[in-house]
Amino acid sequence: MAEINASIGFDRRLWRQDIQGSLAHAAMLAATGIITAEDEAAIRDGLAAIAAEIEAGTFAFDPALEDIHTNIEARLIARIGEAGRRLHTARSRNDQVATDLRLWLRDAIDGLDRQIVLLMKALADRAREHAADPMPGFTHLQSAQPITFGHHLLAYVEMLARDRSRLADCRRRLNESPLGAAALAGTAFPIDRAMTARALGFDRPSANSLDAVSDRDFALEFLAAAAILAAHLSRLAEEIVLWASPGFGFIRLSDAFTTGSSIMPQKRNPDAAELVRAKTGRISGAFVCLLTVLKGLPLAYGKDLQEDKEPVFDTADTLSLALAAMEGMIRDLAPDRARMNAMAGSGFSTATDLADWLVRTLNLPFRTAHHVTGRLVAKAEARDVALADLTLAEMQEEEPRITESVYEVLSVAASLASRRSEGGTAPANVAAAAERWRLALS
């Protein structure tokens, strides 16, 4: 029973928030006349001393006391005596732990947001640097149309911006104070919940005491947003793994973000990217874990809710590490411009430009232009040449009105320059978008 019941092994991470909440609670108890000013001063001094002990590593955590809340309260009573016993007036561990976790998660979201911004800055910086450098754009992992490397990197800036928005929404919704809901029904003491909410930086007290102690939506929403963020990091990590492989050869990572082989001396393995990719599993698993804990759980509090903390703690730690690694890799990677440029025109990637030319210049319906282009691609494929290497006569066999000016749209550079629509890959677009993001993120 002692083994399964204790949470001090992991919830000791809440000690700062537990002391923060207790200080606000004690100040409110004194302000409302529930305890004396002298008791509140003793509690304040005692909690400050306990914080110093924990900071110094001299605090003796006792597994027999189950959790961080009881450990701190027991130490407070040992230090200041009777005044310490008054701290828990009008409070339960149920509203206490719900408050602590909201405070902890609020801080964690703020920290992760700062890291996301750093990664977005790294991507925007590299995007500006490579705004005009061609690379192949893929669909189905097949060469589709030329894009720029900067344009590709900016796609992840957009994804991360949505991740920031989701986490900000989660933070806004979690910012209600459960403190004062007590065990589940509120309290008969004349407490001031608005006072403690303000003191702890919450927007308001929670409106329903039952919901306040049993709600873990905020943790579940964080894990859902974290899982989406992790999936985005995993997609970028997968591309780094592909780009760094000899088959692609688009980038090179330094020794700082690769490892060697125990047997093959030539290997440069992108282990940091592979681990970011793999850690997505534990984050999405954490979401499923807590969702399963909450499913079918009756109101109000059950000890099942003790299982909320480890998934949240582990996810925040894992995301922080993954974001740091990803920012490092983005700043570290060295693109092979020549290789990417050579590959940008492969696979008849300017075929769409040819079809568009037929529509604009000859006024063909797009579907007809599509079929003509398809026949020209087949002809070039049969000859093992690029579209631009077909002679004018060969092209005119499929559409007699094609003129010499068609060759002006068949180069990678011309294709890129033509994609000037909003959000398109034209180098001028990419440079402007990268600069907008750099300014916004500064």
Other Cβ atoms closer than 10 A to 40 = 22
Q: Say how far apart CA 259 and CA 261 lie, in whole Å.
A: 7
- The torsion defined by the Cα of 68, 71, 75 and 78, in degrees rounded to 10, comes to 150
- What backbone phi and psi angles, to 5 degrees, belong to 201? 80, 15
Q: Say how far apart CA 81 and CA 11 lie, in whole Å.
A: 25
Evaluate whether 239 touches 276 at the Cβ level (below 8 Å): no
Which residue, chain included where needed, has tokens 């977005």?
120
Q: Find the catalytic residue in 140, 405, 421, 442.
A: 140
CA angle 377, 382, 384 (to 5 degrees): 90
Which residue, chain included where needed, has tokens 């780094």?
240
- Which amino acid does the sequence have at 261? S
Q: Say how far apart CA 342 and CA 355 lie, in whole Å.
A: 22
CA angle 237, 240, 245 (to 5 degrees): 135
Three-class SS of residue 293? Answer: helix
- Which amino acid does the sequence have at 7? S
Query: What token pair was written down for 182?
Result: 């007590």
Helix, strand, coil percentages for the chain (3-state, nearest 5): 70, 5, 25
Q: Find the catalytic residue in 22, 261, 284, 405.
A: 261
- Which amino acid does the sequence have at 24? A
Three-class SS of residue 253? Answer: coil
Cα 172 to Cα 14, 168, 176: the distances in Å are 20, 6, 8
- Has 371 been annotated as catalytic? no
Q: Across-strand partners of 251?
A: 335
- Has 143 been annotated as catalytic? no
Other Cβ atoms closer than 10 A to 318 = 18
Q: Say how far apart CA 391 and CA 120 lie, in whole Å.
A: 46
Three-class SS of residue 259? Answer: strand
- Which amino acid does the sequence have at 9? G
Q: Across-strand partners of 60?
A: none
Give the total residue count for the chain.
442
Q: Say how far apart CA 173 and CA 211 lie, in whole Å.
A: 14
Q: Which residues are catalytic?
A: 140, 261
